[in-house]
Structure formats: C-alpha cells, structure tokens
Chains A and B, each alone.
Chain A
Amino acid sequence: EVQLLESGGGLVRPGGSLRLSCAASGFTFDEYAMHWVRQAPGKGLEWVSLIGGSDANRRYADSVRGRFTISRDNSKNTLFLQMDSLRPEDTALYFCAKADCGDSACYVKDFWGHGTLVTVSS
C-alpha cells in the first residue's frame, strides 16, 4: 500500500525558513517523480514543485522559484521542500504527491499524502 506522510509544517514569521519532509513507502521510490502541491485556506490546489525520480530535473511554480528548493533522498525514501524567504501568501496546507511515472514530465499524481500545514505570520 502506497503511503505518503508529510511533516515539518508549523508557524513561521515572514522571511523565515521551514523544511518539509515526506516519508514514502509502498513503492519503489526512485522510479517515480514526486510533487509538492499546496492549498491556501479557502482556496484551490496550486502546484508548487516537481522532482524527477533520478533527481535529474526539478521544476518550480513562478510563485516559489528562487525561494523554495525541492530535493529527495532515494536511500531514505524521503522527499523534501526547503522553503526560504517565506511570505504570508505561502500559508497553506502542503501535500506531497507521487507521480504516475518517473521523469520530469510526469504530472498526473496517483497518490497523495494528507498534508502538513504551514502558517506564515508575524
């Protein structure tokens, strides 16, 4: 059974940093691309970032490029999102999601975690 468990969310001041983690199990982690998607309070889903299975390619939404960094540790089946220079508009529930294939053009997400909440406020 595929399981994705996010952690690392919390309250942070504007300009601060946070590192999210997503522990994956139930599939061969390094064979699949992984995503971060967020949902601001009362809003819809917004794609944030993607990393290919081999870590060869990373992509970012314009809204986070230059501030967020996606990475993965395939030896530990874990996905990360380093978030720097956080802004109030980054406040959201952050989901990690497994893509249905391995390269950096894989955008269909066949399994999702339950999310971790990030609140950016002074």
Chain B
Amino acid sequence: EIVLTQSPGTLSLSPGERATLSCRASQYVRNNYLAWYHLKPGQGPRLLIHAVSKRVTGIPDRFSGSGSGTDFTLTINGLEPEDLGVYYCQQYAGPYYGGSPETFGPGTKVEIK
C-alpha cells in the first residue's frame, strides 16, 4: 500500500499570500496518478487537480499542481478567504488487487489570518 505524507500539518497565511502544500509518497506513483481535493466544513470534498497537474474545469487558475515520482506539490497563488479548509492528496496508482487501490494523505489545514 502506498502511504502518503502531507506537510505542513497546518498553514496559516494572509489573503494574497502563496500557499505551498507538499505530498510525499512511500513508493513511486506510476502514471502520475495523483489528485488533490479541498474539504470545507459542512461540505463534501471538491476535486481540484488530477493527474498531478490537470486542473478541473471551474477551478481558479491560482491553483496549480506539480511533481513526479514520490514528491508532489499543490500551490495556491494569491490566497482567497474561501480557500480555507483541509487539502488532501490522493494516489490512485494501486495496487488494484490486494491492498488499497487508492489512499489519501492525512491532509493540510489551511487557515486564513
């Protein structure tokens, strides 16, 4: 099973600042099978990015993803108040038979000062 580690645990920034969120995998994530989700209190998660860097339609371009192999980054350029919440990375590279075919990281909580 691929274990994901996210850092920092909590990020406290002011509006307009850049947020850099890290996601590290215990094994190589093949085919760039890595996504990012945003979870706000009282809502379901929202898909932001899949395949490392493909931004979903309707997601503002201040969100960008990068990385490869075992190290991935979500960058939010110019934080907005509505960006608060917890951000999860997800790998879906398997294994598909035996073990968990997908796993989530523990999350990074973004607070807006």
Contact with B along A74-114 (1 / 0, CB 8 A): 00000000000000000000010100100001011111111
Q: Which residues of B54-113 are within 8 A (CB) of A? A: 56, 86, 88, 90, 92, 96, 99-107
Cβ of A44 under 8 Å from chain B: yes
**Chain B binding surface SS class:** loop
Let me know if B44 and A112 touch, CB within 8 A. yes
Alpha-carbon separation in the docked complex, A112 to B37 (Å): 11
Partner of B88, one of A44, A62, A95, A107: A44
Q: Do A46 and B104 touch (CB < 8 A)?
A: yes
- Chain A residues within an 8 Å CB radius of B12: none
Selected from B33, B47, B100, B106, the residue in CB contact (under 8 A) with A109 is B47
Could you name 12 residue pairs across A and B whose Cβ atoms are closer than 8 Å? Answer: A44-B104, A44-B107, A47-B104, A95-B45, A97-B44, A105-B96, A107-B102, A108-B47, A109-B37, A110-B56, A114-B43, A115-B44
